[in-house]
A and B are shown apart, each in its own frame.
Chain A
Amino acid sequence: MAKLSLDEIQKVALLARIELTDAELAVASTEISSILDFVDTIQNTDTTGVEPTSQVTGLTDVWREDLVEKCAIAPKLLLASAPELQDGYIKVKKVL
């Protein structure tokens, strides 16, 4: 059984950019472990030589003419969705 330790959950939560309280971590550890148990039957299936499927209708590369298409949506309208704006730019915490 794939039992995930609190440390492991903490690490994965950080990768997923989700902050968990200690209480949430404990619940997550139990729940995630039981879900992993549930999906574990795939491990007992022989898949030697089986190609993985990621696209079901058989499309591969889909191309279009290399022409400039004007975006129908005004940039101003797109920017207006941002939670914080300054001088027409999206505002974030400093990264440097």
Chain B
Amino acid sequence: MPDLNYLSITEAHELLVAKKISAQELTEFYIGKIRNLNPKIRAVLTVCESQALKQAKKVDTKIASGEEIGLLEGIPYTAKDMFMTKGIRTTAASKILEDYSPPYSATVIEKLDHAGAVLIAKVNQDEFAHGGSTENSSYHVTHNPWDLDRVPGGSSGGSAASVAADFGIFSLGTDTGGSIRQPASYCGVTGFKPTYGVVSRYGVIAMASSFDCVGPVARSAEDAQIVFEVIAGKDSKDSTTIALSDKTLSDKNPDGKLKAVFYDDEDSDVASRGVAAIDSSLLDIRTEASIAELVPLELALAAYYVLVPSEISSNLERYDGVRYGSKAKDSKDLLDSYMKTRSQFLGPEVVRRNIIGTYALSAGYYDAYYKKAMQVRTLIIEALNKVFEANDAILIPTTLQPAFKLGSKSDPVEMYKTDLLTVFANLAGVPAISIPIGLDSATGLPMGLQIIGKQGDDKKVLAIAKRIQSGSDWHNSAKELKL
């Protein structure tokens, strides 16, 4: 049997087409890997073995009958537990959905199913995606495959850890303020947050509806793009969806070069590494500008932490123990049942954000907090528009520090601050990718470079990432992990 470790989508596809491996064997290999290594990493919440093998068998029948197969057919993947999967437990890592088995699947899961991809596991996350370390999961923490004492990042920590540990060839995550990019950066893998609305959110458990985006975590920008193009597009079941734009690198400036600004913190050389890896005939890096001077980052973070909890408090009203989910016993009346159910089954960070959001939206405070933050959001968008008037992309680190130690950020505000470089992309709804850019010299842990473009420039952002990856090997470094 060929070496099946750390296959890319295309490599796995070629093995399947050449009949060097069957889809069932590939699925069994990955499920075996989860069984062996998950006790160490704890990225997985639910393994869907029987459904996965059934799907793989379908692909094998197709191959046996000589039919052509698509790129994703027979490819094993994992999905964050935010995605509804029909008949497969979906918890959002919350106790309030502990026994929840959805009656339908998210559009993106259906699209992947239709493309023949094989869902093998649902993976861990911060409860309802509230957090940046996956420590807020109500089930267990997940360990970073690079250093088991460190967090994998979050909230899509299970997705990033599962790709880094090779529990699946790619994973689906969600990104409300950096939840795909930050864990991808911490785990040395590629994570893409598309333009807001390009991927359907139907059947994705809601966090903050004007921010939430669905995207892939993968081995490379090439793999991320393959998945992205399958899941993108308008969906009549999600009225916020828009069509994917075809704009790509050929959509150049008059002088034929893309322009970018890049910025590194004093202690970091992340963006400079990316710049050095790009062919200068493609990208004209004119400006090394301070991103903080171009976009008021701290103001953006503050506005984010008013708007997002507000939307959360509205979206999470539905967990009341009536139509689905867990329900507290021994309540005396309906109100008491709501109160007991929610306090018993929602975790501390979810409670915190619900209280902040309810406060920001309550009579007397709405103008001072919620409305004010929506106005600040406009200012952030205007600042970014100005940058994009003269530039095609912004290159900055995904985070200022590599993955932190488990348990080291118990103060909620300290945790929020790790989102400094990612949230503004969500405030403006623009596409952003995080790609591995080598290891931090002090800790030996992976660092990520973010490439951010304007709305609709998804393919352009992916093209720049692919160009960097074609001339470097950082995205393959997870292969060297000895687990």
Contact = CB atoms under 8 A, between A and B. Distances in A.
B103 A54 contact: no
A50 B375 contact: yes
A41 B302 contact: yes
Contacts of B317: 17
Nearest to A11: B362
B18 interface: no
A36 B360 CA distance: 9
Contacts of B455: 56-57
B334 A34 contact: no
A83 B302 contact: no
Contacts of A74: 103
B331 A93 contact: yes
Nearest to B298: A41
B355 interface: yes
B81 to A, nearest CB: 16
Interface in B306-341: 306, 313, 317, 320-327, 331-340
Contacts of A78: 103
A82 B382 CA distance: 45
A82 B355 contact: no
A54 B210 contact: yes
Most buried by B among A14, A36, A64: A36
A14 B236 CA distance: 37
Interface string A84-96: 1000001011110
A64 B234 CA distance: 13
Contacts, number: 167
Given A19-B339, A19-B342, A56-B210, A72 B376 contact: no
A75 B340 CA distance: 28
A57 B197 contact: yes
B334 A52 contact: no
Contacts of B416: 35, 38
A35 B197 contact: no
B306 A53 contact: no
B104 A81 contact: no
A95 B240 contact: no
B428 interface: yes
Nearest to A34: B413
Nearest to A38: B413
Interface string B99-121: 01111100000000000000000
B196 A32 contact: no
A31 B343 contact: no
B377 interface: yes
Interface string B376-387: 111101000000
A39 interface: yes
Interface in B360-402: 362, 368-369, 371-379, 381
Given A38-B302, A59-B240, A93-B331, A82 B322 contact: yes
Given A42-B303, A43-B368, A57-B197, A50 B355 contact: no
Contact of A19 (B103, B340, B375): B340
B358 interface: yes
Contacts of A4: 359
Given A19-B339, A47-B375, A42 B323 contact: no
B355 A32 contact: yes
B381 A53 contact: yes
A81 B196 CA distance: 30
Contact of A57 (B104, B242, B368, B411): B242
A51 B378 CA distance: 7
Contact of A90 (B323, B336, B342): B323
Nearest to A62: B239
Contact of A12 (B337, B342, B359): B359
27 contacts: A9-B355, A12-B358, A16-B313, A16-B354, A18-B354, A20-B343, A28-B351, A32-B352, A34-B413, A35-B305, A38-B302, A38-B305, A38-B413, A39-B303, A42-B299, A42-B306, A43-B372, A50-B379, A51-B378, A52-B374, A52-B377, A57-B196, A57-B240, A59-B240, A80-B103, A92-B322, A93-B336
Given A19-B343, A47-B376, A53-B377, 20 more contacts: A12-B355, A13-B355, A17-B317, A31-B412, A35-B416, A38-B416, A40-B302, A42-B376, A47-B378, A53-B378, A57-B242, A57-B429, A81-B100, A81-B323, A92-B322, A92-B334, A92-B337, A93-B334, A94-B333, A95-B334
Interface of A: 4, 9, 12-20, 28, 31-32, 34-36, 38-43, 45, 47, 50-57, 59, 62, 64, 72-74, 77-78, 80-84, 90, 92-95
- CB-based closest 3 A-B pairs: A52-B374, A56-B429, A81-B324
